[in-house]
C-alpha cells in the first residue's frame, strides 16, 4: 500500500508541475509578439485554447488517479475472497501454483461474475441485464473473458468501460484433434477457454468463488439475490459442489411459476449460470479435459457423490441459437425455458432445509408418500383427486419411455437424469406435481444407463 500511496502522491505532484510549466510557457511567449498586436491576440487565443484542452486531459488523469486510489482503499476493507481491479483489456496467463494455504471464503465474500464470450456481439444483452440487476459493483464485479478475437464483440465489451473488466484469451490457434473429432474443434476451444478464464479468476485475481455465465444468457431480476443467499450453504455443506441457476426441465408448462421460491438438490450438473468455489477449481484444474467439459463434469470421478442446488424456475435463459451445436438443441428445447420474472427475497429466507440430511428426510417422505399412478392414467388426466403423484420406473428403458411420454428430458449422463436427485425427477404435468422416481430401495446410479 505504501508504493500505491506514493504513486498517487507523485501523480498529484506531476499534475501541479505540468500546469506550472504551462503557465510559465504562456508568460515567456507573450513578449515575442509585442510588435504585432493582431498576431499576439491570435496567438494568445490559440495558446489559451490549447492550454484548456491540455488542462482537461490533466484533470482526467487526476480523476483516474483518485479513482484507482479509491479502489485500492476499498481493497483493504474487502475480505480475502476477491480483488477489486480496474478495467483491463488483457491479462497475462497465470502459471502460478495454487496458494498452499488459501483462506476459506467467508459468507460475504466477493462473488465475481465470469462471462465467457467469443464472437457474439449480442453479449450486450447479457451484460445489460447483469448490470441492470447487479446490486453492488464491489460485491459482484463482472469479468468478461473473450476468446476468438472477434473485433465487433470486443468493441461491444470495451464500450462498457470500467463497469466490466475485459480480458482476452491469448491462444487463438487451432487445437490438434483426432481425425474423427475435426467437427468438434469448437468444443476443444471452449474447454481451453474455460480453463484459461477460470485460472485467471482463481489464480491471477485470487477470488475465492465465482459465478460463471455465457454470453448468450439473460438473467432474472433475483439472479444475484439467489446466489448471494445460497452461497453460505455451499460453504458449509461438503455434500454440495455447485449452485446453478438452471432447471433442465424448466419449460413453462412444467414448472410452478406461482412458487418461484422452490429450490431443490440435484445430482445432475446443470451449468448455465453456476457458482463454484476456488477449492473446487484446485481439484478440477489439474485434470481439466481437452473437450466436452460439461459432460466431463457429470462423470462420477468429478461429481464424487456431491450435488448442486437448482431452482424450480430458472434464473437464466439462453437466447443464443448460434453455437457449436448449430442450434438444434436450442430449437427443440432451450428456447422454451421459463425465466423467472418475480423477485424472491432469498436472503431473508431460511434455506437450511436444503442441507442433505434434512432435505432427504422431507423430500423422500413426500416422494414415496405420494400415490403411484401409471403413465397412461396420468396422460388421460385421471385420478385428479390424488393431487401429487409418483410414476415409478425400474429400468433405463422404462425411464426413457416414461420421460418422453411426459415431456421430461430423457437423456442420462453416467446414469443420472437431468434435474434428478437420487434418481427422482420433479416436474408439473398438466398442472399437477409428478415425481418420476425409481423404487424406494434405490441404491445408486448405474453408469451403464448412459
Distance CA 188, CA 235 (A): 31
* 82 pLDDT more than 90: no
Which helix (H) or strand (E) segment holds residue 235: the answer is helix 223-236
Strand 113-117 relative to strand 142-146, pairing: parallel
Predicted confidence at residue 331, as pLDDT, reads: 79
- Cα(24)–Cα(18) distance, integer angstroms: 10
Running DSSP on this structure, what letter comes out for residue 370? S
Q: Which residues on adjacent β-strands are paired with residue 372?
A: 390
Q: What is the pLDDT of residue 280?
A: 98
- Closest by Cα among 189, 201, 346 to 263: 346
Residue 275 covered by a domain: yes
Cell for 196? 484459461
Q: Rounded to whole angstroms, how far apart are CA atoms 284 and 280?
A: 6
Q: 142, 82, 154, 170: which is closest to 117 by C-alpha?
A: 154
Is residue 301 included in any domain, yes or no? Answer: yes
Residue 198 CA to residue 208 CA, distance in Å, equals 11
Residues 183 and 281 in one domain: yes
| Banded pLDDT at 327 (limits 50, 70, 90) | low
Give the start-end residues of each E strand in 153-239: 165-168, 209-214, 217-219
Q: What domain range is 12 assigned to?
A: 2-77
For residue 303, give the 3-state DSSP assignment.
Answer: helix
The pLDDT score that the predictor gives to residue 105 is 83
Q: Is the pLDDT of residue 51 over 60?
A: no
Q: How large is the average pLDDT for residues 170-190?
A: 95
What's the mean pLDDT when you consider all of the chain? Answer: 85
Q: Which residues are catalytic?
A: 294
Q: Computed over its alpha carbons, how large is the radius of gyration of the chain?
A: 28
**Cα 185 from Cα 182, distance rounded (Å):** 6
Q: Which of 278, 290, 265, 283 is nearest to 367 (CA)?
A: 265
Question: In the listed set 351, 381, 404, which residue is the last one of a domain according to the structure?
Answer: 351
Q: Does residue 191 share a domain with residue 165?
A: yes
Identify the pLDDT of residue 330: 79
Percent of the chain scored above 90 by pLDDT?
72
- The CATH number covering residue 218 comes to 3.90.550.10
Amino acid at each position: 500500500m505504501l508504493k500505491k500511496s506514493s504513486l498517487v502522491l507523485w501523480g498529484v505532484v506531476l499534475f501541479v508541475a505540468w500546469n506550472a510549466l504551462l503557465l510559465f510557457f504562456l508568460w515567456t511567449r507573450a513578449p515575442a509578439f509585442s510588435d504585432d498586436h493582431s498576431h499576439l491576440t491570435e496567438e494568445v487565443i490559440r495558446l489559451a485554447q490549447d492550454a484548456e484542452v491540455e488542462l482537461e486531459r490533466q484533470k482526467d488523469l487526476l480523476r483516474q488517479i483518485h479513482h484507482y486510489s479509491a479502489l485500492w482503499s476499498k481493497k483493504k476493507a474487502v475480505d480475502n475472497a476477491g480483488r477489486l481491479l480496474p478495467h483491463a483489456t488483457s491479462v497475462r496467463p497465470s502459471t502460478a501454483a495454487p496458494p498452499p494455504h488459501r483462506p476459506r471464503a467467508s459468507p460475504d465474500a466477493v462473488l465475481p461474475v465470469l462471462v465467457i464470450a467469443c464472437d457474439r456481439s449480442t453479449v450486450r444483452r447479457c451484460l445489460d441485464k447483469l448490470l441492470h440487476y447487479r446490486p453492488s459493483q464491489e460485491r459482484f464485479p463482472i469479468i468478461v473473458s473473450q476468446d476468438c478475437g472477434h473485433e465487433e464483440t470486443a468493441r461491444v465489451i470495451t464500450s462498457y468501460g470500467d463497469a466490466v473488466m475485459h480480458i482476452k484469451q491469448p491462444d487463438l490457434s487451432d487445437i490438434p484433434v483426432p481425425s474423427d473429432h475435426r467437427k468438434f474443434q469448437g468444443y476443444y476451444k471452449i474447454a481451453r477457454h474455460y480453463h484459461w478464464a477460470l485460472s485467471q479468476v482463481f489464480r491471477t485475481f485470487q477470488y475465492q468463488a465465482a459465478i460463471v455465465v455465457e454470453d448468450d444468457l439473460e438473467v432474472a431480476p433475483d439472479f444475484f439475490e439467489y446466489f448471494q443467499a445460497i452461497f453460505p450453504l455451499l460453504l458449509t455443506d461438503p455434500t454440495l459442489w455447485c449452485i446453478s441457476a438452471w432447471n433442465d426441465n424448466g419449460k413453462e408448462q412444467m414448472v410452478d411459476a406461482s412458487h418461484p421460491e422452490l429450490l431443490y438438490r440435484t445430482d445432475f450438473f446443470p451449468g448455465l449460470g453456476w457458482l463454484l468455489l476456488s477449492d473446487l477449481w484446485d481439484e478440477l484444474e489439474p485434470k481439466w479435459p481437452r473437450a466436452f467439459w460439461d459432460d466431463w463434469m457429470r462423470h462420477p470421478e468429478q461429481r464424487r457423490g456431491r450435488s448442486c442446488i437448482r431452482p424450480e424456475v430458472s434464473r437464466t435463459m439462453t437466447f443464443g441459437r448460434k453455437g457449436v451445436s448449430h442450434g438444434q438443441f436450442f430449437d427443440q428445447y432451450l428456447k422454451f425455458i421459463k425465466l423467472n420474472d418475480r423477485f424472491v427475497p432469498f436472503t431473508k429466507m431460511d434455506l437450511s432445509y436444503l442441507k442433505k440430511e434434512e432435505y432427504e428426510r422431507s423430500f423422500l417422505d413426500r416422494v414415496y408418500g405420494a400415490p403411484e399412478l401409471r403413465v397412461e392414467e396420468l396422460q388421460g388426466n385421471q385420478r385428479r383427486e390424488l393431487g401429487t403423484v409418483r410414476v415409478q420406473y425400474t429400468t433405463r428403458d422404462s425411464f426413457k419411455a416414461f420421460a418422453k411420454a411426459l415431456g421430461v428430458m430423457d437423456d442420462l449422463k453416467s446414469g443420472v437424469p437431468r434435474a434428478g436427485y437420487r434418481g427422482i425427477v420433479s416436474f408439473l404435468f398438466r398442472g399437477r406435481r409428478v415425481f418420476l422416481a425409481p423404487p424406494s430401495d434405490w441404491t445408486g446410479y448405474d453408469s451403464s444407463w448412459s
